[in-house]
Amino acid sequence: MSLSEWLISKRNLALKNRNDLNKNTFQVPDNLWIKCSHCGFLMYYKNLNHNFKVCPKCNYHFPASSQDRIHYLFDDNSWLPLNSNLASADPLGFSDRKLYSQRLKDMKFKTGLADAVQTGIASIEKISVACGIMDFRFMGGSMGSVVGEKLTRLIEKATDSKIPLIILCASGGARMQEGILSLMQMAKISSALYKHKKQGLPYFAVLTSPTTGGVTASFAMLGDLIIAEPKALIAFAGRRVIEQTIKEDLPDNFQTSEYLFEHGFIDLIVSRIDLRSKLSQLLSLYSSSV
């Protein structure tokens, strides 16, 4: 073998070894690590999920889906969905940069939900409850006619069944694409809650971040007991709108759970990690009193 042939064979062997190495190189999967947006702590995504999506270093509460909350709160295999087939139409033919009907299709495909709330009957430590869980992923958890109808039917079911009611709120407010139809849901849900209360049945409102607009102005603040997650944004109007209206600077912690608790607007601040046990305790107190 000549020198040139020997060099070519060596080069081909080196190329083959490099290609084989590349094929066998371990690929780091996506979403293996996540960084806390509040304190910068780097952690395994699985560890975050095991900790109820709460940062173990600073207690920052990451956004949680309605499906996450079902898993965190209720006894295994106890969730029985109600009215899961209800979905919004486009009664006003609304469009901005995109047709409202198309936005709904996109949201359904992206989230796997029919609308911005899941409702159902479940149990917490074997105590039956009716529960509505809003999901911010679906158009910012906005309250349209279907959200209002599902929550109203849920409340009526709780009243007829004589069981406690829990609603976990996460919303940007009323859904502008449905105009006055979305605002009407405030009165409809509030009326159903009044009938529930007249039966001597408890309603616990759990406010997560964010809870704003027409949701805050209605059923979110009508609970017999109002619970909030730590540092949750809870408001009606936006901070900038208020400052421009009153011509004053607002405190840094304005519209947080802690500020509202200090001023008597909410009753408890409970970490997501402890929420199941706290609700179980409260439900047990109710059960023993009836």
Q: Spell out the domains of the chain, with CATH numbers in brackets.
A: 15-62 (no CATH), 63-289 (3.90.226.10)
pLDDT at 18: 63
Distance (Å, whole) CA 280 – CA 26? 45
Residue 130, classed as helix, strand or coil, is strand
Q: Do the beta carbons of residue 116 and residue 147 sit within 8 Å?
A: yes
State yes or no: 169 annotated in a binding site: no
Query: Is the distance from CB of 104 to CB of 90 less than 8 angstroms?
Result: yes
- Please tell me the pTM assigned to this model: 0.88
Reported as a single tens digit per residue, the pLDDT across 86-130 is 999 999 999 999 999 999 999 999 999 999 999 999 999 999 999
Query: For residue 179, what pLDDT is reported?
Result: 95
The parts of the chain modelled with pLDDT lower than 50 are 26
Instruction: Consult the annotation and say whether 131 binds a ligand.
Output: no
Integer Cα distance of 283 and 178 in angstroms: 36
